[in-house]
Structure 1
Amino acid sequence: MKKLTILFVALVALVLSACSMESPFLENAKDDAANEKVSFKIGFSISTLNNPFFVTLSEGAKTNAQEQGVGISIVDAQDDASKQASDIEDLIQQGVDLILINPVDSSAVGSAVEAANSAGIPVITVDRSAESGEVVSHIASDNVAGGVLAGEYLLELVGEGAKVAMLEGVAGSSAARDRGEGFLTAVDGKVEIVSSLTANFDRGEGLTVMENMLQANPQIQGVFAQNDEMALGALEAIEASGKNIKVIGFDATDDALAKVEEGKLAATVAQKPDEIGKAAIDTAVAYLNGETVEEFVPVELELVK
């Protein structure tokens, strides 16, 4: 009898232990029979979750994955290209069916994409592209077109011959390169670019860099920031200086839209990150189901002013 009791206790402990071992790919699934419907496991390496734009993008992906019964594991690279490479290697070792990558650095991420290729795991890039490796599809807004929208509107606000500045994003990222290219195309030969410096898509750096720009070039009349976080930091520096300078951002985050509504931020280019995240999952599931997908899936842009 004593042996039977011990055996029963051991069996209960084993069952409880098994129940507690929850797969990270079911984090978005309901704790019921629906879990059995998870058809694919998708890994998502995102550049940073310390930015409202990418938080919204990841939530869009996660919500759509849940609706489609797809397991998803989202990992935060914390704006560190080395950490992103390590995160992607972990996803490869976990045996995911597909990896979504929002690169920290479009060039540096190439080796990680190639590692996934070697493991037979398809890759889709999101918002920012990869410069090497085989990618099934790229999901993003047309950042060049967005930069043109910003440049044309800033030119309309400040007029030809005005002195303007640009706050650049993370060096090496395709988003920074493309937005800058579009902006410069729109204003080339029509304004004087007195300063163009990186603030790494960060609000705090945007504040500091803008303070330095104003000290060196007090006659600045307009600013294009390649994302809203930098625009909001720049706006803080400008308000502290007492100057009236037109600032345009990019992303249409909630904070930026509030400043546009208040008349403090001239405009922001809306990228619709939730739609980008949703489209990434739609494309991933379609590909895994054997469907043909487009090499580039664009998400609509608009200027909010």
Structure 2
Amino acid sequence: MKRKLAALLVTVLTLSLVLVGCGAKTDNATPPTKKIKIGLSMNTLNNPFFVAVKEGAEAEAKAAGIELIVTDAQNNPAQQIADVENLIQQKPDILIIDPADSDAIAEGVKKINTAKIPVFTIDRQTNGGEVLTHIGFDAIKSGTIAGEALAKALNGKGNVVEIQGIMGTNVARDRSKGFNLAMAKYPDIKIIAKQTANFDRGQALNVMENILQANPVIDGVYAANDEMAMGALAAMDASGRTAKIKLIGCDAIDPALAAIKAGKMAATIAEPPFFLGKEAIKTAMKISKGEAIEKSVILGSTLVTKDNVETVKTRD
């Protein structure tokens, strides 16, 4: 009887140790990794450039297993502030902003600062609030490249038109500054008209129609983005003057590349938005991991002409 009782006690003790061991294993199990949530406030998605920014961000976020929330301010600074407030309520780990207006967005950035959410800007800068970094292109360099390319296409002389973007953004101001710096080196080139079209194709069409009617001799046009270049081109086509005018844009969106291939545009400046979107998510990942980042990240710009339009890379 004693032997049976001893055997039973050994069995119970062994089973208890096994159960304790299992319990210890459960307690030490690695907790599931928290999924990173990123908010992306876009100034508009009614423009191929910014659609491509979103697509690049989505591609990188999907590859990294990140939850990405995208909003569209429809080029309305007030709507973008509302978008930012909504994103703050969703408690993202990081917020990325592509401003509709550099001055107006400062209010939104300050709200994000108050919420203690890491934030940075892409493409266009903010004129207020604290951001960890800014990712974009050198807009002065871009404008200068465009100006030099137009001067070369015109052999250093002729009548030129400048169609400007949203002058409340650093991008529009800096592209114009770079273009005019280049033009100043060519005394035989005259800027006969300079007007804003707010980076909008429809507005550029109307602007260019009026300029064409008022000026019988136009040799070159610089549009500060390709959407405006497409609007200007439509007006030039309608007037039958496309063959006489050298047109240069910026951004290297697909319609502009097609126009270069067709001989209707002289050049554009490749500032690939898809890669801008990817870089934004990569930077957000670094921030989430506590890694060091640069205060400013400047991506490369490339002149695209008929000579390299077939090989230029604008997305993965």
Identity within the alignment, %? 47
Displaced runs of 4+ in structure 1, greater than 2 A?
A: 36-39
For the Cα contact (< 8 Å) 1:38–1:69, is it kept in 2? no
Q: 1:145 & 1:301 partners in 2: Cα distance?
A: 8
| Structure 1 residue ranges without an equivalent (≥5) | 1-35
Per the TM alignment, residue 227 of structure 1 is displaced from its structure 2 partner at its CA by: 0.6
Matched residue type, 2:249: G
Q: 2:295 & 2:216 partners in 1: Cα distance?
A: 45
Which residue in the other structure is 2:3 paired with? none
Matched, 1:145 2:141: yes
Q: 1:276 & 1:56 partners in 2: Cα distance?
A: 9
Per the TM alignment, residue 153 of structure 1 is displaced from its structure 2 partner at its CA by: 0.5
Q: 1:276 & 1:139 partners in 2: Cα distance?
A: 8
Per the TM alignment, residue 122 of structure 1 is displaced from its structure 2 partner at its CA by: 1.4
In the TM superposition, what are the counterparts of 1:6-155 in structure 2 within 5 Å? 39-155=35-151
- Residues 45-68 of structure 1: CA deviation (Å, up to 9, x unaligned): 001111111111101001101111
Per the TM alignment, residue 38 of structure 1 is displaced from its structure 2 partner at its CA by: 5.4
- Residues 61-117 of structure 1: CA deviation (Å, up to 9, x unaligned): 011011111111000000000000100011111111111000000111111001101
Q: TM-score, normalised by structure 2?
A: 0.83
Which residue in the other structure is 1:185 paired with? 181
Which residue in the other structure is 1:16 paired with? none
Which residue in the other structure is 1:223 paired with? 221
Q: 1:50 & 1:218 partners in 2: Cα distance?
A: 33
Per the TM alignment, residue 245 of structure 1 is displaced from its structure 2 partner at its CA by: 0.7
For the Cα contact (< 8 Å) 2:151–2:157, is it kept in 1? no
Matched residue type, 1:286: K
**Secondary structure, aligned partner of 2:150:** helix
1:204 to 202, 209, 223: 202
Which residue in the other structure is 2:275 paired with? 275
Matched residue type, 2:192: V
Per the TM alignment, residue 215 of structure 1 is displaced from its structure 2 partner at its CA by: 1.6
Which residue in the other structure is 1:286 paired with? 286
Matched residue type, 2:199: F
Q: 1:38 & 1:68 partners in 2: Cα distance?
A: 13
Which residue in the other structure is 1:14 paired with? none
Matched, 1:159 2:155: yes
Which residue in the other structure is 2:296 paired with? 296
Q: 1:62 & 1:38 partners in 2: Cα distance?
A: 19
Per the TM alignment, residue 141 of structure 1 is displaced from its structure 2 partner at its CA by: 1.4
Q: 1:180 & 1:228 partners in 2: Cα distance?
A: 14
Q: 2:185 & 2:264 partners in 1: Cα distance?
A: 27
Matched residue type, 1:122: P
Q: 2:111 & 2:216 partners in 1: Cα distance?
A: 49
Q: 2:162 & 2:208 partners in 1: Cα distance?
A: 9
**Secondary structure, aligned partner of 1:223:** strand
| Structure 2 residue ranges without an equivalent (≥5) | 1-31, 306-316
Asked which structure has the greater CA Rg, the reply is 2
Closer/same/farther in 2, CA of residues 183 and 38 from structure 1, 3 Å limit: farther
For the Cα contact (< 8 Å) 1:163–1:219, is it kept in 2? yes
Which residue in the other structure is 1:241 paired with? 239
For the Cα contact (< 8 Å) 1:38–1:70, is it kept in 2? no
Q: 2:130 & 2:229 partners in 1: Cα distance?
A: 34
